[in-house]
Amino acid sequence: MDFFSVLYFRFKKVWKAVRLYLVIAGPGLVVMIADNDAGGITTYAATGAKYGYHLIWFLLLLIPVAYYVQEMTVRLGAVTKRGHAEAIFESFGAFWGWFSLIDLMFVDWLTLVTEFVGMTAALSIFGIPAWITVILVVLLMSIIVLNGRYWTWEKIALGFCLLNLIYIPAAFMVNPSISSILGQGLIPNLPGGLNNELFFLLMANIGTTIAPWMLFFQQSSVVDKGLQEKDINMGKLDTFIGSIITVVVAIFIVIVTGTLLNGAPIDDAATAARMLMKTNHYVGAFMAIGLFDAGLLGAICISLASSWAFGEIFGWAHSLNTKVKEAPWFYISFFLTLATAGVVPLIPGAPLVLITLFVQVVAVTLLPAALVFLILLLNDKKTMGEYANTPLQNTVSVFIVVLIIVLSTLYGVSALFPNLFQ
């Protein structure tokens, strides 16, 4: 064969792989980018404002952490064709099943409230009242979900994922010093030594990288999309690309606040956006739009994670490929979760700070359990066959899971007892 024939066949092979990836891509990208939800944006904004570029290296370490945990849900979903809630019920019995399901419902609802808080705060910067934001979001999300096709829902969600990249142009607009980013950010260092404040922020960054709803969401999403065992490699690639994008977005947020708000006290991302607007109107506006989008993406995924889990256990039809008539309870539970969480930020004097604190604490009761179940399920050779964890995968994932459990527990406990580690 001549040179051009070889080139042509290689191109065709690569193009075929790219097209296959584009068909399978979705669950990994959506879950990972939605991971940068309203709470995540606040954490990254606070990280940049407090420590400048110094913790970028730490964010890079979160790529394998996020990937190794989430890729297990891809294998589990594709092989068992069951969501995480159903897998726990079936494998570990009703006690652990109910514990996980009720805990998930609780954590998801509380997290949804924080997403609404983020979204209403973001749009209030543009003068939009909170009640209009809540109604708009509930309407928009209902329309997205009620279209009756998983494929359409996923493409719309991917569109919102694309908007999450708004922090990248924002970072270029603040003209950061590349040499400072590379010099300060890529060399592992602990600015000011490992004190309580830094430790709390590091734990918050880990806590926002892996959340319980992500495990339940991605596995159910893989099942609803109908991924098969042959699609696992592409599903893993999808997750890997998603984990890179989520950290890249986080780094660009750190660059924005690290450049313009270095040393400023940041309690939430909306405050950061307001402060940024004073320096650069467009960057502040981008920050606010990004915060709204992050809250919306988080809300889209979290409310679905709960509805899928309920559907799996109660035996209701629970697919986005079904119409309302065919799966009324699936859509009712979705709408109820969404609407009740949306109302909370509208209540005058609602204990929003307490809710945010409570999310961290309750998540700590579910995350370790869900992660332990994940590892045990991935070691069940009878079910997983050749897709069970290899010794190397077990070593890596057990190390990561133990690390997450220890740090998230410390994070949760320090949220309960703020003076404990001082």
Partner 1 sequence: MRMLKQFRSKIREINLRYAKPKVEMSKGVKFSLAVLRIYLFVLVLLMIYKFITVL
What residue ranges bind partner 1 (CB under 8 A)? 89-94, 96-97, 99, 313-314, 361, 364-365, 368-369, 372, 375-377, 379-380, 382, 409, 412-413, 416-417
d(CA 406, CA 415): 14
**Per-residue tokens: 102:** 């009720």
Q: How far is the CB of 370 from partner 1 (least distance, A)?
A: 10
Tell me the one-letter amino acid at 13.
K
What are the Cα distances from residue 177, in Å, to 54, 59, 159, 222, 257?
13, 19, 31, 41, 13
Q: Which is nearer to partner 1, 184 or 408 (CB)?
A: 408
Asked if 50 contacts 266 with a C-beta cutoff of 8 angstroms, the reply is yes
Asked if 119 contacts 38 with a C-beta cutoff of 8 angstroms, the reply is yes
What are the Cα distances from residue 336, in Å, to 111, 321, 343?
15, 20, 11
Q: Which is nearer to partner 1, 21 or 96 (CB)?
A: 96
Bin 266: left if φ > 0, else alpha if -120 < ψ < 50, else beta. beta
Q: Which is nearer to partner 1, 93 or 265 (CB)?
A: 93
Q: How far is the CB of 116 from partner 1 (least distance, A)?
A: 25
Q: How far is the CB of 419 from partner 1 (least distance, A)?
A: 12
d(CA 241, CA 382): 30
Q: Which is nearer to partner 1, 110 or 266 (CB)?
A: 110
Q: Which is nearer to partner 1, 18 or 406 (CB)?
A: 406
**Buried/exposed 69-80: b ≥16 CB within 10 Å, e otherwise:** bbbbbbbbbbbb
What are the Cα distances from residue 375, in Å, to 222, 238, 251, 312?
18, 21, 29, 21
Q: What SS3 class is residue 180?
A: helix
Q: Which is nearer to partner 1, 52 or 412 (CB)?
A: 412
Nearest to 144 by CA among 338, 274, 3: 338
Q: How far is the CB of 312 from partner 1 (least distance, A)?
A: 11
Asked if 108 contacts 323 with a C-beta cutoff of 8 angstroms, the reply is no
Q: Which is nearer to partner 1, 232 or 415 (CB)?
A: 415
Q: Which is nearer to partner 1, 89 or 335 (CB)?
A: 89
Tell me the one-letter amino acid at 32.
M
Q: How far is the CB of 311 from partner 1 (least distance, A)?
A: 13
